[in-house]
Amino acid sequence: MSGDLVSRAQLVMLAETLGVPAERIRHLERLGADHLRGLRERISDQLFDEQAAIFARMSRLAPLVPNGLVAKVSQAIVPPLVAGRAAGALGVDHPGRAKGVLADLSPRYMADCAPFLDQRTVAVLAPNIPPELLIPAANELMRRKAYVTASWFLDYATPEALLDLEAGIPDKAGLLHTTSLVQSAERLNQIIRLLPTDRVAVIVRTAIGSPELLTAGLSLLARLDPELTADLGDLLFEELDGAGLTEVLRTAVGQGAVLELLVVAASVREDAVRRIAADPYVTELDTVDRFLAEAAEHDEWDGLSRVAEHLPAELAARVAEGAARARAKAS
């Protein structure tokens, strides 16, 4: 499921690059996040490069037009597709003016243009843009639930900008959604390590707010380095009373996030594993069989093995037999 969430995000970004609804290319989701990203980046690069001559000429217009007029005219008549496409080229050629123009643009217009920016120029420009100019647009993206677009910027934000953005975005649930969609696990770990633990804790705890948030939360936790998964997973489980834990486990199964749950269970502390194993929903035969099927499908046994150590004897035996069968079949 974590892979699915990230793949889905990459699919949405590819669809935005092509200017079609995601449904139109839904069949490409099977390519997976890495392939979809490679495909999108190459198509995006080509769409920009084909217009390089026009962007270069537009760039030469810049000295004729004051910042205020650029912003005013853009918002009045330039569609976001064009403004987003041109912004990168103009920003790279005139880095000193990017701040001035952005300061005059409305957050809504900036959010409209965001999906159409050239990723290569964002990487160059991002370090020089003061976060206070981007935070209103980031909050607008959160308001629109445009988490896929927002996640893209996390790839390029500097450490300082990440800290400022986190502090400037009050919608912590939106931040959880956004962070869970960061494509590279390495980058995701960097981001989580960079943010102070107490702030990450606030974000992770929002996971119990809804089934979608829980899926995002488990997806995020499952992609972290094991010690981070342990620390943050414990924080999440500490939030839950007995009924809350049952609800989370039920939701994980219902949302197709069992694999993530098992990965998290492989890392959290013993107390959390005992609580999972003692939960009345987990001790149902159907649930154990579902866990077994997921573990077998993904060859992910550590979490289930830990849980099984604390299950009633007959269920533990069922897990052991299922695991042995799956491994024999695989070998």
Partner 1 sequence: MRSPKGDPKVDARTALRQRLGDDVDALALLSEQESAELLGLIDEARAVQRKALDASIGEVLGRLPRLARGPARRIMFG
> Closest distance between partner 1 and the C-beta of residue 84, in Å?
11
Q: Site residues for partner 1, window 61-80 (CB under 8 A)?
A: 61, 64-65, 69, 73, 76-79
> Closest distance between partner 1 and the C-beta of residue 29, in Å?
12
CB closer to partner 1 out of 65 and 123: 65
Round to the nearest angstrom and report the end-to-end CA distance of the chain.
25
CB closer to partner 1 out of 16 and 260: 16
293 binds partner 1, rule: CB under 8 A:
no
> Closest distance between partner 1 and the C-beta of residue 251, in Å?
33
By CB atoms closer than 10 A (0-12, 13-18, 19+), residue 36 is buried
C-alpha 192/C-alpha 265 separation (Å) is 19
> Closest distance between partner 1 and the C-beta of residue 55, in Å?
9
36 binds partner 1, rule: CB under 8 A:
yes
298 binds partner 1, rule: CB under 8 A:
no
Percent helix, strand and coil across the chain, each to the nearest 5: 80, 0, 20
Q: Site residues for partner 1, window 112-131 (CB under 8 A)?
A: none
The DSSP letter of residue 25 is: G
85 binds partner 1, rule: CB under 8 A:
yes
CB closer to partner 1 out of 60 and 329: 60
Q: Which residue from 325, 324, 307 is spatially nearest to 316, judged by alpha carbons?
A: 307
22 binds partner 1, rule: CB under 8 A:
no
Tokens found for residue 160: 């300082």
C-alpha 225/C-alpha 159 separation (Å) is 19
**Distances in whole angstroms, Cα of residue 283 to Cα of each of 1, 249, 269, 286:** 23, 11, 20, 9
> Closest distance between partner 1 and the C-beta of residue 32, in Å?
9
C-alpha 313/C-alpha 46 separation (Å) is 60
Tokens found for residue 323: 């695991």
Displacement of CA 188 from its chain's centroid (Å): 8
Q: Which of 3, 4, 8, 18 binds partner 1 (CB under 8 A)?
A: 18
Please check whether residue 49 is in contact with residue 120, taking contact to mean a CB–CB distance below 8 angstroms. no
52 binds partner 1, rule: CB under 8 A:
no
Residues lying near partner 1 in the complex (CB under 8 A) are found at 17-20, 24-25, 27-28, 31, 35-36, 38-39, 42-43, 46-47, 50-51, 54, 57-58, 60-61, 64-65, 69, 73, 76-79, 81-82, 85-86
